[in-house]
Structure 1
Amino acid sequence: MEQEVFVPVPAERLRAALADPAQVARAVPGLQQDAGTEPVAGRLKVRVGGHTITYRGAVRVSPREDGSYAVEGDATEVRGSGVVKPLLTLSLRETGAGTTLRFEGTASADGRIAELPPEAVDAAVTRLLNRFAANLATEATEATEAADATDATDAAEAVDAVDDAVDDLDENEAEAAAGEAGDVDDVDEADDVDLAPASAAVFEAEVSPAGLEDLAGPGEPPAEAAHARRTMIGRSAEEVDHAPPRGRYAPVPAPQTVVPNSTLRWAAPAAALVVASAIVVGRALRRRG
């Protein structure tokens, strides 16, 4: 038996898929895996002509030294005593933009499948191998895409980790700079500050005489101060101490409230009465004359 199938997948991807028993098991069309058994083991329904035969068995794929693979199987009919034992050689050949899978080998079979026409059996085997090759190519492609996605995710996570590390480094440097700026308040570190250049500049700077005169103040005292000092000459110390200040700094006397005397209160009405009497007397004398 010989069969060739072309798939648009590189040979390296197919070899990686053949090395994974789980992908091989998913590539077998119609295989129902049994729990707790080896990966490529379970129940498989094979349609030959108008008949369907269910087998239970296992398939093993192992690499050879020449780069090909040995495919060995052992299956028994679920409803019968027939046994099928395929022994195939699978080789990969790169062709253009893909790979050609070549199946060669033989198979021993008895039971129900041996009673069916050989043409129907060959067609069923060819269809089974074609679908297996197509499924294997799909598994290889999906596995490669998943690996690429994982690598891209890992690369993105690595980039994020690097960015986080850089951000943390920047924050640490900023905190260190802030800490160094805050440590200036420490007395011990403040003592280490070199103030010699500034001190030397201050003491070595030239000061003009005018500046010294400004600092010393006016040479002559104000006129008020001189007058006060002259008036205090000849007095005792006690008098000077208790003498009130004069001139600009003399205290302002409080305003005095003048209360009219009781004598002046009655003098004004009396004077008015006298003047009125004089006027009356003067008029009387004029009339007589």
Structure 2
Amino acid sequence: MEELKNTAPILHVSHLKKSFDDVAVLKDISFDLNAGEVLSIIGPSGSGKSTLLRCLTQLETFEAGEVCIDGKDMVIPGVKTKNGVKYAPAKTLREIRLSTGLVFQNFNLFPHLTVLQNLTLAPIRVLEKNREEARDLARELLKRMGLENKEKAYPCELSGGQQQRVSIARALAMNPKILFFDEPTSALDPELTGEVLKIIKGLTELQMTMVIVTHEMAFARDVADKVLFMDGGVIVEQGTPEYVFGKSENDRLNAFLSRFAND
């Protein structure tokens, strides 16, 4: 396994384990990510990729391991309970939650709100921004997404690609330190996939720290600073894109990439 140089990680994951009933989904996950870097996570369905993201964004709890995001520990190191780990106080968890954003597979926009309202709701209610400030930021983000003329539209009036771009803008409106993507193009047809991938790739120019679970291998290779290959709830291989996609001798990884190339 290739050694990855890391200095001051904004995301530190150590020996993370997660089970559903008696089924171990994440068996022992450890990795670091520095500020401004992009991590692509690849692997077959059922390998634990989405569950990992849900644990890191507090949508799922985990029973063992440590997670530190932007210098804040999600669980109290070394403290055990009958359920495994002891989570940090609510105030700390809220601070961590506000430092992360998650873009879902299926957009998860509020259908009864306009595009502009979708983008301004959380900044106003959670970050306590004034309405005009929130609207100005939302319009700036919509322009960046190429959707400046859609602020009065409802989600049902948008294409899938447009809805996903609104989802990305909504996440960015909260000014996260790390942006997580869970298969952001899986619900899109091929014609719309490219426009969303272009937007995500553009965020790298802004030095946005991102963790991207994706089945788009060419995109994972081109956009990432680091790549993790997961299978069976463990990290089978990790390294730079050049190493993972071209130099690794790991049989399981190469079999996966070979099958993908043949699809």
TM-score range, shorter chain: under 0.3
Q: Name the TM-score, length of structure 2 as normaliser.
A: 0.22
Instruction: Give 1 or 2: higher helix fraction.
Output: 1
Larger strand share, 1 or 2: 2
Q: How does the TM-score come out when normalised to structure 1?
A: 0.21
Q: Which has the higher contact order (CA 8 A, sep 6+)?
A: 2
